[in-house]
């Protein structure tokens, strides 16, 4: 691991200005993704998973303000990069697949043309060659009868097929990093499995790194080398997948896992997480945003700064880790 | 009074089918109208106090089946016995005023989309009490308060609109609305839950599942639990029904079915589920392609034929027989994965 990481997020803080106050959506988020690595980002709604992804893509809403931090992707400072540079990188080096594949596609353009658009934009190919490659990509993502499907509109295809088109678009230019934001939510379990097989297989074949944003701990367990756990805009834990689930060190990770149904358990075995997420519009957010819900809390937890213990390839942001 | 050893099932369906004609044909058209077999000869029972899971991919007929059982639509054929009475023959429009209407209730999938945004929580809970129990005035207020209390909704939240409620609170309103008309009724009570927790975070999901378990015991209900999440079905269901293209292809005690599926489709479903904290090893069964068309399916071909990794010539020539791979289990398959003693089959 002497090589610099492919993506490094350092001390990233993001705020949203809303009518009802400033939402501190991310605070001092730091993690990295190595080349070829699949990193899972897990957490419940409102934890900041998607905001992190959109910040990396530099696709944040205009109401968002990055108040501190750095995002370095392949040596490039993403926060200082010009819009033209970003447009070159997005879709070519860095691409994204979205939660709702049908909404992510242009409804009035044939799917083959939508794939060809990316190739025309980023690869030095003519339109005939782009069309030919689009059909080849459709075959690669497992769409039967690709030449005919290339002429289909998104509404003519199933949700699973639309997500395959999304993957074909994202992978058309062989990116170094794929960000997948809940890529299988809303798809049938059998389709979910084949879609994730496809991402894993294409990723391996191309040495592609991936950032998989999910609320599904099963998916993270099965597909990720390492997992970052987020809670209320903080990274609370960052560890290799096996180590994380074998022995979670942050009380929130442990609580999240204890609330997740899995085989061999009954309802009585699951425990709840007391309390709710803190209101991120508050001015007096405590250093540890989990403290109010935590049974290991002491007075020391209310004193800044939030400690970050780093050892043996894992990081835990807690005063009293397990 | 002596209790019978085995109480009769709350709900029993036999040979239930729903076929939809596709495309308008002229009166003198020569060819018969193609029929979409949404639900095909389904038989099932839900016992007293039982939670029965219903799983399958989208388009398999789960929703049509639940709408048939709730008597929101009329079956093409078949029998539905609820509390000893055959309710299948009663037209859906007339069933709306039938006394059993209040005793078969549904909790809908998307609490966001299924609660009128212009209704307060109290209005949402009041609507079925007004229509089905003809309550008004103080009795109505009392009914709302009791349903809300049972679902852990503080009175202060009742005047709020859906957009002012959290996901968990909306789920509680959806449940309160469903149980409100059946709380005071006698006799069998069936709650059909269509993905009640799919939109919720795990920490909220646990709370709602615990609430459902508590309500079931307290009100003496039975549940038909429709879900995509097999980990949740395995957690809370006594028995499970696996549906594929309109047919129940496997059924049995949930733990037994999930631990050793007999039908290759069930195996593929189970293999698709990632287990949190335990990375899977060994080969996984994956399904290629999409299900066949449900329009005029060939009665002499297994519905899963063509997509099934174990398929053989016979599967394309004869409908699969029912096979019992263990106590209380049944699978429709020519080449089940386990034999009658539960051992792995070749």
Percentage of chain A beyond pLDDT 70 is 99
- Would you place residue A184 in the very low, low, confident or very high pLDDT band (cuts 50, 70, 90)? confident
The chain-wide mean pLDDT, for chain B, equals 90
Q: Residues B50-62: what's their mean pLDDT?
A: 92
- Would you place residue B25 in the very low, low, confident or very high pLDDT band (cuts 50, 70, 90)? low
In a domain, A130, yes or no: no
Alpha carbon B328 to its chain centroid, in Å, reads: 19
Distance CA B120, CA B164 (A): 10
Check pLDDT > 90 for residue A177. yes
Residues of A with Cβ-Cβ distance to B165 under 8 angstroms: none
**Those residues with Cβ within 8 angstroms of residue A206's Cβ, 6 or more apart along the chain or in another chain:** A171, A174
Count of structural domains, chain A: 1
With CB atoms and an 8 Å threshold, state whether A245 touches B276. yes
Pairing state between β A209-214 and A38-42: parallel
Min distance B63 CA to chain A CA atoms (Å): 15
Q: Residues B269-290: what's their mean pLDDT?
A: 80
Distance CA B224, CA B42 (A): 15
Write the pLDDT tens digit of every residue in A59-72. 999 999 999 999 99
Residues of B with Cβ-Cβ distance to A222 under 8 angstroms: 274-275, 279-280
Q: What is the model's pLDDT at position B29?
A: 66
Check pLDDT > 90 for residue B275. no
Check pLDDT > 60 for residue B291. yes
Instruction: Read off the tokens for A192.
Output: 């979910």
Min distance A265 CA to chain B CA atoms (Å): 6
Q: Tell me the three state secondary structure of residue B256.
A: helix
The chain-wide mean pLDDT, for chain A, equals 91
Check pLDDT > 60 for residue B65. yes
With CB atoms and an 8 Å threshold, state whether A190 touches B284. no
Pairing state between β A209-214 and A177-181: parallel
Helices of type H across B51-201:
62-69, 92-95, 111-114, 121-133, 137-150, 167-179
In order, the DSSP letters of A25-62 are: EEEEEEEEE-TT-EEEEE--TTSSHHHHHHHHHT---T
Write the pLDDT tens digit of every residue in B100-131. 999 999 998 877 778 899 999 999 999 999 99
Asked if B315 and B332 count as a contact pair (C-beta separation under 8 A), the reply is no
**Domains of chain B by start residue, with CATH:** 11-22+35-237 (3.40.50.300), 262-346 (no CATH)
- Would you place residue B327 in the very low, low, confident or very high pLDDT band (cuts 50, 70, 90)? confident
Q: What is the model's pLDDT at position A274?
A: 86
Residues of A with Cβ-Cβ distance to B167 under 8 angstroms: 45
In a domain, A141, yes or no: no
Q: What is the model's pLDDT at position B111?
A: 73
Check pLDDT > 60 for residue B2. no
* Partner residue opposite A158 with nearest CB, options B269, B277, B290: B290
Q: What is the model's pLDDT at position B28?
A: 65
Domain holding A280: CATH number?
3.40.50.300
Identify which of B270, B262, B271 has the alpha carbon closest to the alpha carbon of residue B320: B262
Write the pLDDT tens digit of every residue in B207-217. 999 999 999 99
In a domain, A125, yes or no: no
In a domain, A33, yes or no: yes
Report the DSSP beta bridge partners of residue A31.
Answer: A9
Distance CA A40, CA A52 (A): 12
With CB atoms and an 8 Å threshold, state whether A189 touches B269. yes
A270 touches chain B (CB under 8 A): yes
Using the CB atoms, write b or e for A173-195: b if 16+ within 10 Å.
bebbbbbbbbbbebbbbbbbbbb
Q: Residues A82-111: what's their mean pLDDT?
A: 91
Check pLDDT > 90 for residue A264. no
Check pLDDT > 60 for residue B4. no
Interface of B with A (CB under 8 A): 57-58, 166-167, 201-203, 205-207, 209-210, 213, 228-232, 234-236, 258, 268-269, 271-280, 284, 286-290
Q: Tell me the three state secondary structure of residue B38.
A: strand
Check pLDDT > 80 for residue B244. yes
Q: Residues A143-167: what's their mean pLDDT?
A: 90
With CB atoms and an 8 Å threshold, state whether B276 touches A189. no
Percentage of chain B beyond pLDDT 70 is 95
In a domain, A217, yes or no: yes
Write the pLDDT tens digit of every residue in B123-164. 999 999 999 989 989 999 999 999 999 999 999 999 999 999
- Would you place residue B334 in the very low, low, confident or very high pLDDT band (cuts 50, 70, 90)? very high
Identify which of A211, A220, A310, A228 has the alpha carbon closest to the alpha carbon of residue A262: A220
Check pLDDT > 60 for residue B236. yes
Min distance B192 CA to chain A CA atoms (Å): 19
- Give the C-alpha distances (Å, rounded to integers) separating A175 from A70, A80, A170, A179: 21, 21, 8, 10
- Would you place residue B3 in the very low, low, confident or very high pLDDT band (cuts 50, 70, 90)? low
Using the CB atoms, write b or e for B131-147: b if 16+ within 10 Å.
ebbebeeeebeebbebb
Asked if B278 and A262 count as a contact pair (C-beta separation under 8 A), the reply is yes
ipTM of the complex: 0.86
Q: What is the model's pLDDT at position B343?
A: 83
Say what the alpha-carbon torsion angle A250, A254, A260, A262 is, to the nearest 10 degrees.
Answer: 130
Q: What is the model's pLDDT at position B289?
A: 72
Min distance A61 CA to chain B CA atoms (Å): 22
In a domain, A25, yes or no: yes
With CB atoms and an 8 Å threshold, state whether B201 touches A44. yes
- Would you place residue B247 in the very low, low, confident or very high pLDDT band (cuts 50, 70, 90)? very high
Distance CA A322, CA B238 (A): 35
Q: What is the model's pLDDT at position A255?
A: 94
Check pLDDT > 80 for residue B23. no
Q: What are the φ and ψ backbone dihedral angles of B310, each rounded to 5 degrees?
A: -100, 0
Half-sphere exposure at residue B43, Cβ-oriented, CA atoms within 13 angstroms: 6
In a domain, A113, yes or no: no
Q: Tell me the three state secondary structure of residue A176.
A: coil
What is the domain range of residue A23?
Answer: 7-93+175-316
Distance CA A175, CA A150 (A): 22
Question: Which of B197, B274, B289, B309 would best serve as a mutation to test chain A binding (most A beta carbons within 10 A)?
Answer: B274
Check pLDDT > 90 for residue B285. no
Give the angle B37-B41-B45 at the CA atoms, nearest 5°. Answer: 130
Check pLDDT > 80 for residue B263. yes
Residue A10's H or E segment, with its range, is strand A7-18
* Partner residue opposite A197 with nearest CB, options B275, B279, B286: B286
A185 touches chain B (CB under 8 A): no
Q: Tell me the three state secondary structure of residue B251.
A: strand
Q: Tell me the three state secondary structure of residue A11.
A: strand
Residues 65 through 124 of chain A touching chain B, CB cutoff 8 Å: none
In a domain, A206, yes or no: yes
């Amino acid at each position: 691991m002497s090589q610099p990481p492919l993506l490094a997020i350092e001390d990233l803080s993001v705020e949203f200005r809303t009518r009802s106050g400033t939402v501190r959506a991310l605070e001092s988020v730091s993690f990295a993704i190595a080349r070829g690595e699949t990193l899972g980002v897990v957490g419940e709604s409102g934890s900041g998973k998607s905001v992190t992804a959109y910040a990396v893509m530099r696709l944040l809403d205009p109401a968002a303000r990055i108040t501190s931090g750095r995002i370095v992707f392949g040596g490039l400072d993403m926060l200082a990069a010009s819009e033209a540079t970003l447009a070159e990188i997005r879709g070519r080096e860095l691409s994204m697949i979205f939660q709702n594949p049908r909404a992510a596609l242009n409804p009035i353009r044939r799917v083959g043309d939508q794939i060809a658009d990316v190739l025309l934009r980023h690869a030095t190919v003519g339109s005939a060659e782009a069309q030919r490659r689009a059909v080849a990509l459709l075959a690669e993502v497992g769409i039967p009868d690709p030449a005919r499907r290339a002429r289909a509109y998104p509404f003519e295809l199933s949700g699973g097929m639309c997500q395959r088109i999304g993957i074909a678009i994202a992978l058309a230019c062989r990116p170094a990093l794929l960000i997948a934001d809940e890529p299988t939510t809303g798809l049938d379990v059998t389709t979910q499995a084949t879609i994730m097989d496809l991402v894993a297989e294409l990723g391996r074949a191309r040495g592609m790194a991936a950032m998989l944003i999910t609320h599904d701990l099963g998916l993270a367990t099965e597909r990720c080398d390492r997992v970052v756990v987020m809670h209320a805009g903080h990274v609370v834990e960052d560890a290799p997948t096996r180590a994380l689930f074998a022995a979670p060190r942050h009380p929130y990770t442990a609580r999240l896992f204890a609330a997740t149904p899995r085989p061999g358990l009954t309802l009585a075995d699951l425990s709840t997480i007391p309390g709710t997420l803190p209101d991120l519009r508050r001015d007096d957010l405590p250093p540890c945003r989990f403290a109010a819900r935590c049974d290991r809390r002491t007075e020391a937890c209310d004193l800044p700064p939030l400690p970050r213990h780093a050892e043996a390839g894992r990081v835990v942001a807690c005063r009293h880790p397990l | 009074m002596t209790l019978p050893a085995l109480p009769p099932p709350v709900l029993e369906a036999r040979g239930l089918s729903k076929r939809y004609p596709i495309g308008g044909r002229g009166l003198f058209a020569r060819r018969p109208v193609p029929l979409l077999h949404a639900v095909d000869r389904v038989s099932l029972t839900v016992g007293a106090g039982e939670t029965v899971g219903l799983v399958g991919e989208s388009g398999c007929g789960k929703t049509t089946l639940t709408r048939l059982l709730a008597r929101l639509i009329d079956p093409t054929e078949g029998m539905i016995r609820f509390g000893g009475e055959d309710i299948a023959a009663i037209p859906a429009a007339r069933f709306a005023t039938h006394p059993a209407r209040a005793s078969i209730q549904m909790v809908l999938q998307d609490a966001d989309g299924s609660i009128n945004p212009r209704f307060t929580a109290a209005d949402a809970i009041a609507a079925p009490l007004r229509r089905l129990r003809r309550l008004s005035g103080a009795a109505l207020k009392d009914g709302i308060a009791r349903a809300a209390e049972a679902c852990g909704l503080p009175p202060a939240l009742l005047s709020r609109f859906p957009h002012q409620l959290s996901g968990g609170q909306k789920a509680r309103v959806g449940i309160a609305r469903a149980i409100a008309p059946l709380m005071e009724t006698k006799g069998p009570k069936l709650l059909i839950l269509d993905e009640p927790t799919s939109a919720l975070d795990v920490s909220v999901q646990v709370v709602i599942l615990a609430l459902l378990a508590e309500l079931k015991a307290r009100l003496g209900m039975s549940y038909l639990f429709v879900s995509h999440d097999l980990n949740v079905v395995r957690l809370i269901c006594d028995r499970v029904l696996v549906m594929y293209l309109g047919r129940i292809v496997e059924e049995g005690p949930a733990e037994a079915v999930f631990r050793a599926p007999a039908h290759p489709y069930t195996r593929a479903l189970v293999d698709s589920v990632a287990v949190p904290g335990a990375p899977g090893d060994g080969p996984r069964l994956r399904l290629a392609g999409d299900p066949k068309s449900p329009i005029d399916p060939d009665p002499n071909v297994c519905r899963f034929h063509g997509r099934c990794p174990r398929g053989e010539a016979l599967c394309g020539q004869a409908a699969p027989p029912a096979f019992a791979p263990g106590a209380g289990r049944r699978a429709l398959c020519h080449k089940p994965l386990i034999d009658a003693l539960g051992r792995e089959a070749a």
